[in-house]
Structure 1
Amino acid sequence: MDIFTAGRDFVRRDARVLERRLFAAVFEGAEPQGVVDALRGFQNADGGFGQGLEPDKRCPDSLPLDVEVAFDTMLAAGARDEEMIRRAADWLDRTATADGAVPLCGPAVEGYPRAEHITEWTYQPGINPTAGLVGRLHQLGVEHPWRDRAAAWCAAQVAHGFPEDAHGMLEVAAFLESTGDVDFDRVREWLPKLGHYRADAADPTYGVTPLQFAPTPDSFWRPLFTDAQLDAHLDRLIEDQQGDGGWAITWEPPGPAATLEYRGIVTVGALRTLKAYNRL
């Protein structure tokens, strides 16, 4: 069975409704509105997103991490529901510090099953996820007072230096793309210094790879990487497809259902990247 068919079958069999509708929108010509409809079940009355949209915590409360996943999903589908986005931005505005910074999660997660890495460090407002949320609102084309306030805070943070972790740098990359004021050499020189950055395609450990900075050939950050670097990671991505058609994850969500949910997310992501680079 070929890569695409095996991946499609995994998504149809084991992914949740949201990823099945995203797959249908990306690969089968389905209306992107179906993805928005699926996201509605994760949006709370306060305007934020929760209900375990990001599967590493089963908390129903609204969390910035879940808002970011909602924005990412709409962008992947080519969908845009302005009311849905504005309600989420209003919630971020109410949740943020005076400067506009937000945390990934909050103490509410402690009442529910969660992965081991979802601990107190995720309660601290920071560049991750604030910068990424600002960048995604720009990509979605939605102006909002919180976006402007948070952007000013992010710009001040970046002026003092880049994050030391690759996850934070991914968020900064989304923010910098929205500003149009980018020093590619500075970013390129910083990448090898990042924790959790997996430059070597042969490295089997958990980490952020060049394909996450440049998931398509026309990605803004594509010039950071050589053809050889990206080809090696694309080869590895193909090799990592599992016998059941899906892609594995290298961390432990809080349970079997959450594991399958996350595998659905990364499988659709892998197929999208392979399609973009003409590897399917």
Structure 2
Amino acid sequence: MNGAQVLSRAKDFLYKNARLLDRKRYEYHFEGGSNVEVVDVLKAYQNQDGGFGNALEPDLRCPQSQPVPTELALTIMEEVHYFDPHIVKGIVKHLQQITLPGGGVPFVFKNAKHYPHAPWWKTEEDCRPSINPTGKILGYLYKQKAFTDFCQEEWFLKNEQFTWDYLEHGSPTGYHDGIQWITFLENVPDTNKADKYWPALDDWLSRPGTIERNPLAEGYVHKVLDWCPVSTSYSRKFISDEEIHNHLQVLIRQQQEDGGWPINWHALSPGTELEWRGGITVERLRTLQSYGMI
């Protein structure tokens, strides 16, 4: 199957099944669509407190603002190269309120339990800081230039110090931890300080088992193209051209009959599975595009 066929089948899947947000992402990346339109749709997920909820993260159905959906909003704006200043100001307002006394934001708030959610989206306390999503939130706040008045505010400095202290502990504990390290270190202005931590991260990334090398591995694992979704990804230097080629070939074969790509975890419901598959399908197409396959 050639690249045009892969893209055509995926487009059909997206327009049959995906959220408007992911259709607009597809249009931006593959049909000359507007990044402003992507972000305009994103605004619907933002709450009055400035944070994001409303099932922007499909397995977290509560309407209230949560840290990971707020991180995801920053990720989407970074993806389409448009940080809306009003959205960023709202996020800053929200982070001012949820930053913990010792720095860091939680992984999830306990109010999530009052709505349908995947098993990992629950907690009995709101006071435990987590590098996930604190690291990426800081990384993208550094990267964006739409609104920067907060950089010397106490809440922001506390989050910085929490992240530096966390990096002192040694190595990441898994994929979701590792990508927080990478995004933070790639964007932190103090590159001299960041240089101290790259060796520990590189050592961890090069260890057997950190990056799943088997393109046919099953279950909730993170393979070569999860670590290197685009050709310029930081982790690319730990992966051979042959491995990239093999994983790309398998990725194409994993496109399903309906044109979308599957998820590798248990979905909360049939509806959330389609929401996830829409987003994942856009991600898979972006990867294939980055490596010149479509």
Normalised by the length of structure 2, the TM-score is 0.88
How far apart, in 1, do the equivalents of 2:49 and 2:119 lie?
A: 27
Give 1:162's aligned residue.
Answer: 171
Match for residue 256 of structure 1 among 264, 270, 284: 270
Deviates more, 1:244-253 or 1:115-124: 115-124
Q: Aligned residue for 1:49? A: 52
**1:39 match:** 42
Write the distance in 2 (CA, Å) between the matches of 1:232 and 1:147: 42
Counterpart of 1:77 in structure 2 is 80
CA distance in 2 between partners of 1:164 and 1:13 (Å)? 38
Shift of 1:229: 2.5
Distance 1:241 1:220, change over 3 A: same
Query: Using the alignment, how far apart are the partners of 1:86 and 1:253 within structure 2?
Result: 33
What is the CA distance between 1:5 and its match in structure 2? 0.7
Within 2, Cα distance between the matches of 1:217 and 1:22?
Answer: 19
Q: Given the alignment of the two structures, is residue 131 of structure 1 paired with residue 135 of structure 2, yes or no? A: yes
Residue aligning to 2:218:
204
Distance in 2 between residues matched to 1:30 and 1:119, nearest whole Å: 37
Identical-pair percentage: 32
Worse-matched range after superposition: 124-133 or 218-227: 218-227
Asked if 2 retains the 8 angstrom alpha-carbon contact of 1:199 and 1:210, the reply is: yes
Amino acid at match of 1:80: F
The CA distance in 2 between the partners of 1:275 and 1:121, in whole Å, is 42
TM-superposed deviation, 1:65: 0.7
Cα distance in 1 for residues equivalent to 2:141 and 2:101: 19
Q: CA deviation at 1:19?
A: 0.5
> Distance in 2 between the 1:156 and 1:148 partners?
12
Report how many aligned residue pairs link the two structures. Answer: 280
Report the aligned-residue RMSD.
2.1
Say if 1:188 and 1:48 are closer, same or farther in 2 by CA, change over 3 A: same
**Alignment-mate amino acid for residue 167 of structure 1:** H
- Residue segments in structure 1 that go unaligned for 5+ positions in a row: none
1:251, distance to aligned residue in structure 2 (A): 1.2
Assess, with a 3 A threshold, how the Cα gap between structure 1 residues 194 and 164 changes in structure 2: closer, same or farther.
farther
Q: Secondary structure of the equivalent of 2:62?
A: coil
Q: Find the residue that maps to 1:221 and give its secondary structure.
A: helix
The whole-number CA distance in structure 2 between the counterparts of 1:12 and 1:79 is 24
Query: 1:194/1:61 Cα in 2 relative to 1: closer, same or farther (>3 Å)?
Result: farther
- What is the correspondence of 1:181-260 to structure 2 with a 5 Å cutoff? 181-182=194-195, 184-191=198-205, 197-260=211-274
Q: Which segment drifts farther, 31-40 or 177-186?
A: 177-186
Distance 2:274 2:115 in 1: 18
Equivalent-residue separation in structure 1 for 2:209 and 2:160 (angstroms): 24
User: For 1:121 and 1:3, how far apart are their aligned partners in 2?
Assistant: 44
Deviations 1:178-207 (A, max 9, x none): 134245553232136698852322212212
Q: Deviations over 1:18-70 (max 9, x none)?
A: 10111111111111111111011100000000001000111000001111111
Distance 1:195 1:119, change over 3 A: farther
Matches of 1:14 and 1:192, distance apart in 2 = 38
What is the TM-score normalised by the length of structure 1? 0.92
AA paired with 2:276? Answer: Y
Moved >6 Å (runs of 4+): none
Residue 19 of structure 2 is matched in structure 1 by: 16
Bigger CA drift: 114-123 or 83-92?
114-123
2:230 alignment partner AA: T
Q: State the 1:147 CA deviation.
A: 3.9
Asked whether 1:266 is paired with 2:280, we answer: yes
Matched to 1:237, the amino acid is: L
Deviation track 1:211-259 (CA, whole Å, cap 9, x = no partner) reads 2332222233322322222222222221211111001001123211111
Larger of the two Rg values belongs to structure: 2
Q: CA deviation at 1:82?
A: 1.3
Amino acid across the alignment from 2:277: R
SS in 1 for 2:22: helix
